[in-house]
Structure 1
Amino acid sequence: MAKTQLNVRVDEGTARTARERALARGMSVNRYIEELVRQDAGEVGRTFVEAAADFMEQYENVFAEEFGAEREGRR
């Protein structure tokens, strides 16, 4: 995907916090901001929900065998 430069002005405290949080996560400030915007746009959440739904569909029988009877009070 092509990159576009976006210039943003923030106060020094916000800039410092962004740098610290990016460093703590082992990523650039640029990547950190990208991640925040994606999260806010819901892409990360949507991807997680889709992956979780796929997982549950694949392993539904395993979970039902392991936990189904216990939930229904049969164990």
Structure 2
Amino acid sequence: MKLQRSFKQLVIFHLFVLSATSIVFFWVIPLLNWLIPIPFAVVFYILYIREKRQGGATPAAVKYGRY
């Protein structure tokens, strides 16, 4: 009887571990992949707009020889 109970606990524990790892891999990591670059994108966009307003070199201006 004790072996059966411990086997049931083992199955429940492994189901818990599998569900936790699947939540981490399929929800937490993709969310981090989206959330981490957003501040960098905002900072670079602000710098780009500021430089563009001052008439500085933008990548398009450099590409088409207007700088």
What's the TM-score, normalizing by structure 1?
0.36
Is the helix fraction higher in 1 or 2? 2
What's the TM-score, normalizing by structure 2?
0.39
Which protein has the larger Cα radius of gyration, Structure 1 or Structure 2?
2
